[in-house]
């Protein structure tokens, strides 16, 4: 961008929703507070809810972004506006475009206008609020479909109005400092690269753990876990970064090319290599824990998994014969040599040998801040390309269809435990044991 002569117009579509309130607007204010936004910028909230500019600003202010920042907050709020409209209305987006142009013309020349849009839905008239002479970038929030067919339909819809380099599919896990540094860990430390293959690594385990239940979010969990969305999005992306060959450079397209190659060399998931579970109620230490189906937002006969473990295989020269194991929660203790790359909870990289080497952790910027800034600057390395998304869904779609058609009943396990017994049998079948990365209640 061209310094003080440029302006960025940011439209947050779905501005009245929880994601915007909890993640997007705090991230935008943090970027402004730290001086990362250009001198001239405008933020528009767009949603179906009726709201005035003043009401939007009051909503921001009530979120309590940071302490002792009243002056900065006042300046930030002066740049924030609201426009109400339907998501599938070309007329409403055209009206938004007129408001954007009114603010942009005051500040700068049209060829230096950069429009960033944060969207969460499919049927939108992108062309009706695109910059005519400047840059338009659309940040698309997951989920990116529920299978190969729906994902392809979403991509087709996007590309009806946009080019590939204008689309930024956001997976906030890729914005975490630790994940972003995974490539640097591999390719900038000669101690690791010679060992990074099937000759020295027997299996790779990616473990995602959370210490809470549905808490009234049954609809969210139903989609997320029913479609194994965490595996298909977060964990598969981390795996691709872990397993890819050395890219020509760490530039966006070179890195994403290597990720796609890894995904295309993997076998589609088979039902016999997957274990699903659902937590049940139990009492421990005098404390009662609920079942998944005890939540009022969940159907009593729900088959939605709250746990999933899977074994995948990468059929290429570097990794042939290696089992990649995905798991929702951790399990058995063990003493062995391990390089632990922990994304959640408490991000850390540490080496486990005969005596554990202390790890490190530090306070890091929110992942959304990092990714929004990348989108503003046009850095695409941590965003998901269309062919990469296609390859990822190709691995999971056959399994998802089989789970749906056969109505597979998940194996029950106690709330707060490390998952169902079936996960142990899955690991034992391939002569491995789960690493211990979490704390059992």
- pLDDT bin (cut points 50, 70, 90) of residue 205 is confident
| Residue 209 sits in the same domain as residue 349 | yes
| Residue 354 sits in the same domain as residue 211 | yes
pLDDT at 436: 55
Q: What is the largest CA-CA distance in the chain?
A: 67
Task: Output the domain CATH number for residue 255.
Answer: 3.30.360.10
Q: What is the DSSP letter of 20?
A: I
Is the pLDDT score of 336 beyond 60? no
The 10 Å Cβ neighbour count of residue 87 is 18
pLDDT at 59: 85
| Residue 334 sits in the same domain as residue 213 | yes
Q: Which two tokens stand for residue 375?
A: 């989108």
The 10 Å Cβ neighbour count of residue 268 is 12
- pLDDT bin (cut points 50, 70, 90) of residue 335 is very low
| Residue 207 sits in the same domain as residue 350 | yes
CA-based R_g, the chain, Å: 23
Whole-number Cα distances in Å, 384 to 103, 175, 371, 388 = 31, 12, 12, 6
**Tens digit of each residue's pLDDT (9 = 90 or more) over 398-428:** 998 998 899 999 999 998 788 899 999 998 9
Domain boundary among 141, 160, 183: 141
Contact 369, 27 (CB under 8 A): yes
| Residue 250 sits in the same domain as residue 186 | yes
Provide the CA 435 distance to its chain's centre, in angstroms.
Answer: 23
**Tens digit of each residue's pLDDT (9 = 90 or more) over 41-76:** 999 999 999 999 999 998 877 766 666 677 888 899
Place of tokens 């529920």: 146
- Mean of all residue pLDDT scores within the chain: 79
Q: Does residue 157 lie in a domain region?
A: no
Q: Is the dihedral of CA 91, 92, 95, 97 positive or negative?
A: negative
Half-sphere exposure of 200 (CA within 13 A, CB side): 10
Contact 153, 170 (CB under 8 A): no
Contact 36, 8 (CB under 8 A): no
- pLDDT bin (cut points 50, 70, 90) of residue 224 is low
| Residue 112 sits in the same domain as residue 232 | no
| Residue 255 sits in the same domain as residue 349 | yes
Strands 282-284 and 287-289: antiparallel
Q: Does residue 41 lie in a domain region?
A: yes
Strands 167-170 and 135-141: parallel
Contact 358, 350 (CB under 8 A): yes
| Residue 218 sits in the same domain as residue 310 | yes
Find the range with the poorest average confidence among 102-106, 228-232, 332-336. 332-336
Task: Output the domain CATH number for residue 85.
Answer: 3.40.50.720
Burial 274-304 (b: 16+ CB within 10 A, else e): bbbbbbbebeeeeeebebbbebeebeeebbb
Q: Does residue 231 lie in a domain region?
A: yes
Q: Quick check: is 234 catalytic?
A: yes
| Residue 276 sits in the same domain as residue 404 | yes
- Dist CA 423 CA 44 (whole Å): 47
Q: Which three-class secondary structure state does DSSP give residue 237?
A: helix
The 10 Å Cβ neighbour count of residue 24 is 23
- pLDDT bin (cut points 50, 70, 90) of residue 275 is very high
**Which range of residues forms the domain containing residue 178?**
174-366+385-429
| Residue 134 sits in the same domain as residue 184 | no
- Domain total for the chain? 2
**What pTM, to 2 d.p., does this model score?**
0.80
- pLDDT bin (cut points 50, 70, 90) of residue 148 is very high
| Residue 210 sits in the same domain as residue 119 | no
Q: Does residue 377 lie in a domain region?
A: no
* Share above pLDDT 70 across residues of the chain, in percent, rounded to a whole number: 76
Domain boundary among 119, 141, 163: 141
Which residue among 83, 227, 234, 328 is the active-site one? 234
């Amino acid at each position: 961008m061209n310094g003080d002569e440029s302006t960025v117009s940011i439209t947050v579509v779905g501005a009245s929703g929880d994601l915007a309130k909890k993640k997007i607007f705090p991230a935008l204010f943090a970027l402004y507070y730290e001086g990362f936004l250009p001198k001239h910028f405008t933020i528009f909230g767009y949603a179906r809810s009726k709201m005035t500019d003043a009401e939007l600003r009051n909503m921001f202010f009530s979120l309590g972004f940071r302490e002792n920042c009243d002056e900065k907050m006042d300046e930030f709020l002066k740049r924030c506006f609201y426009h109400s409209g339907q998501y599938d209305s070309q007329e409403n987006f055209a009206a938004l475009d007129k408001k954007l142009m009114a603010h942009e013309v005051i500040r700068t020349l049209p060829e230096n206008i950069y429009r960033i849009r944060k969207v969460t839905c499919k049927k939108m008239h992108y062309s009706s609020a695109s910059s005519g002479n400047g840059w338009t970038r659309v940040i698309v929030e997951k989920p990116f479909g529920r299978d190969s067919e729906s994902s392809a339909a979403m991509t087709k819809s996007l590309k009806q109005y946009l080019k590939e380099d204008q689309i930024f599919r956001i997976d906030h896990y890729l914005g975490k400092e630790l994940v972003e540094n995974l490539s640097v860990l591999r390719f900038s430390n000669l101690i690791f690269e010679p060992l990074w293959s099937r000759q020295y690594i027997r299996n790779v385990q990616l473990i995602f753990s959370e210490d809470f239940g549905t808490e009234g979010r049954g609809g969210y969990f139903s989609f997320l876990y029913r479609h194994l969305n965490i595996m298909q999005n977060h964990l598969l992306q981390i795996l691709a970064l872990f397993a890819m060959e050395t890219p020509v450079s760490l530039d966006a397209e070179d890195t994403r090319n290597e990720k796609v190659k890894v995904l295309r060399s993997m076998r589609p998931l088979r039902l016999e290599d997957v274990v699903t579970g659902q937590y049940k109620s139990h009492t421990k230490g005098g404390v009662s824990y609920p079942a998944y189906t005890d939540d009022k937002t969940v159907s009593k006969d729900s088959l939605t998994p709250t746990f999933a473990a899977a074994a995948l295989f990468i059929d290429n020269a570097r990794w042939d014969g290696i089992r990649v194991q995905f798991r929702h929660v951790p399990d058995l203790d063990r003493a062995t040599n391990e390089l632990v790359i922990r994304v959640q909870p408490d991000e850390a990289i540490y080496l486990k040998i005969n005596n554990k080497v202390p790890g490190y952790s530090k306070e890091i910027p929110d992942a959304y801040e990092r990714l929004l800034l990348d989108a503003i600057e046009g850095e695409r390395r941590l965003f998901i390309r269309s062919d990469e998304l296609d390859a990822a869904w190709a691995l999971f779609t056959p399994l998802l269809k089989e789970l749906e058609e056969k109505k597979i009943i998940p194996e029950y396990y106690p709330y707060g435990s490390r998952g169902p017994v079936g996960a142990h049998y899955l690991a034992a079948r391939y002569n491995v044991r789960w690493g211990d990365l979490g704390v059992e209640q």
